[in-house]
């Protein structure tokens, strides 16, 4: 099969021939339909987040089940599916307590070593050299993933577009539903409306938030934000964003501010934009070591909560996220503004790095 292989930070990926991956116990092989182009991959490509090489990145995928390993129930070849980027082991202390977003086996084996949970990868070059997997290694024609990360799609949800459910929409759900617990009528501001921030707007709208304020420094992204659920937009390059957010909420600030970039500048703006007793949810990943200074007295005196949110809980949340897509409360197609072939994978990540992608881009395998 063909796969985009990452060999060295700062160097382009090369589309190489790899052996067809074999699913192990409790695992599924899927024929990948599409894979989303996500900023988290970009951190690895730039060397800002350490990861073993060679590796296949790509963690936001949809496809058709092609083969199942032993001990897999409820999935069969031919099923149309979307996969969560967190592949819960189902057995660690966090998974047992329902916190699959914190699965320690996933972090220890996959995020640190590029392996699945028997301590090996499923990807090999034809000469037998192992190739690490970032999540399931979705930038390839086929991918093997634990069945705990595989979820059936209703007929009405388009297969290729459903790829973006597995990271950006899933992450937006985790932030809005689990960590912020947004209620109808609450005000939400989203700082940076790129691939994930756009989905937070949709999710906030789906849960009845109003107003929903999009903050970004690019006019094209703010224009798209109005289409994706924002009721007001603020250009942070032209105005004082926290001051404008307060103005839009009767001088008080928003109930919930979501930071989707992983930048100290926007994280501070989010902190300064919430009302007394408000909540800041951080979902943007930054390069290792990046910090944000926050005013202690405001934290204390104003009772502000700052909470991190990573993905969501795969097995309990993915079915709900897919149901939102089936009902049309969340649109999987409208956020996708660019479609690339696997051979164009480097162009896609270059455009993402340049900030040119409005909404989400996907790599389509056919």
Q: Which residues of this protein are in contact with Zn ion, per CB under 5 A? A: 38, 40, 89, 92, 95, 103, 105, 167
Helix axis angle, 195-206 to 219-227, nearest 10°: 30
- Please enumerate in sequence order all residues whose Cβ is within 8 A of that of 323, keeping only pairs 6 or more positions apart, or say none: none
- Min dist. Cβ of residue 122 to Zn ion (A): 19
Return phi, psi of residue 97, to 5°: -85, 5
Q: What does the alpha-carbon distance between residue 200 and residue 229 come to, in Å, rounded to a whole number?
A: 9
Residue with smaller CB distance to Zn ion, 106 or 271: 106
Q: What does the alpha-carbon distance between residue 157 and residue 81 come to, in Å, rounded to a whole number?
A: 10
Residue with smaller CB distance to Zn ion, 167 or 233: 167
- Min dist. Cβ of residue 309 to Zn ion (A): 13
Closest CA to 154 of 328, 277, 313: 328
Residue with smaller CB distance to Zn ion, 40 or 202: 40
- Min dist. Cβ of residue 39 to Zn ion (A): 7
Q: Where are the alpha helices (H) located in the chain, listed in sequence order?
A: 39-46, 93-96, 104-105, 112-113, 168-173, 195-206, 219-227, 241-248, 264-273, 296-301, 314-327, 345-353
Residue with smaller CB distance to Zn ion, 234 or 283: 283
Residue with smaller CB distance to Zn ion, 65 or 83: 83
- Please enumerate in sequence order all residues whose Cβ is within 8 A of that of 128, keeping only pairs 6 or more positions apart, or say none: none
Say which DSSP state 101 is in. Answer: G
DSSP 172-213: HHIIIIIIS---TT--EEEE--SHHHHHHHHHHHHTT-SSEE
- Min dist. Cβ of residue 356 to Zn ion (A): 18
Residue with smaller CB distance to Zn ion, 134 or 271: 134
- Min dist. Cβ of residue 260 to Zn ion (A): 11
Residue with smaller CB distance to Zn ion, 174 or 253: 174
Closest CA to 85 of 23, 17, 138, 155: 138
Closest CA to 5 of 43, 52, 67, 49: 52
- Min dist. Cβ of residue 242 to Zn ion (A): 27
Closest CA to 201 of 178, 221, 179: 221
Say which DSSP state 110 is in. Answer: I
- Min dist. Cβ of residue 168 to Zn ion (A): 6
Residue with smaller CB distance to Zn ion, 172 or 234: 172
- Min dist. Cβ of residue 74 to Zn ion (A): 19
- Min dist. Cβ of residue 88 to Zn ion (A): 5
Tokens of 317: 């949340």
Residue with smaller CB distance to Zn ion, 146 or 253: 146
Other beta carbons within 10 Å of 247: 14
């Amino acid at each position: 099969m063909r796969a985009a292989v990452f060999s060295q930070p700062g160097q382009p990926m090369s589309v190489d021939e790899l052996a067809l991956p074999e699913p192990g116990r409790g695992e599924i092989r899927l024929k990948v339909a599409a894979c989303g182009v996500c900023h988290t991959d970009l951190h690895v490509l730039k060397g800002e987040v350490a990861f073993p090489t060679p590796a296949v990145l790509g963690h936001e995928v949809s496809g058709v089940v092609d083969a199942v390993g032993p001990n897999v129930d409820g999935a069969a070849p031919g099923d149309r599916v979307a996969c969560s980027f967190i592949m819960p082991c189902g057995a660690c202390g966090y998974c047992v307590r329902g916190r699959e977003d914190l699965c320690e086996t996933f972090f220890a084996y996959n995020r640190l070593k590029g392996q699945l949970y028997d301590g090996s990868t499923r990807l090999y070059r034809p000469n037998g050299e192992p190739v690490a997997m970032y999540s399931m290694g979705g930038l390839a024609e086929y991918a093997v993933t634990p069945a705990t990360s595989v979820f059936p799609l209703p007929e009405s949800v388009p297969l290729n577009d459903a790829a973006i459910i597995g990271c950006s929409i899933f992450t937006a759900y985790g932030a809005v539903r689990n960590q912020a617990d947004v209620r109808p009528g609450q005000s939400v501001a989203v700082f940076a409306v790129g691939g994930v921030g756009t989905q937070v707007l949709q999710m906030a709208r789906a849960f009845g938030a109003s107003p929903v304020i999009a903050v970004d420094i690019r006019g094209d992204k703010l224009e798209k934000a109005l289409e994706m659920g924002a009721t007001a937009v603020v250009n942070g390059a032209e105005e004082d964003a926290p001051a404008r957010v307060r103005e839009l909420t009767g001088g008080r600030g928003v109930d919930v501010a979501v930071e989707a970039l992983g930048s100290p500048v926007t994280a501070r703006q989010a902190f300064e934009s919430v009302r007394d007793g408000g909540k800041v949810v951080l979902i943007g990943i930054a390069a290792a070591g990046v910090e944000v200074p926050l005013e202690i007295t405001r934290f204390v005196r104003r009772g502000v909560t700052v909470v991190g949110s990573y993905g969501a809980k795969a097995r309990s949340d993915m079915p709900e996220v897919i149901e939102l897509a089936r009902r049309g409360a969340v649109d999987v197609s409208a956020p996708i503004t660019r479609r690339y072939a696997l051979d164009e994978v480097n162009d896609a990540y270059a455009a993402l790095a340049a900030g040119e992608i409005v909404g989400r881009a996907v790599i389509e395998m056919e």
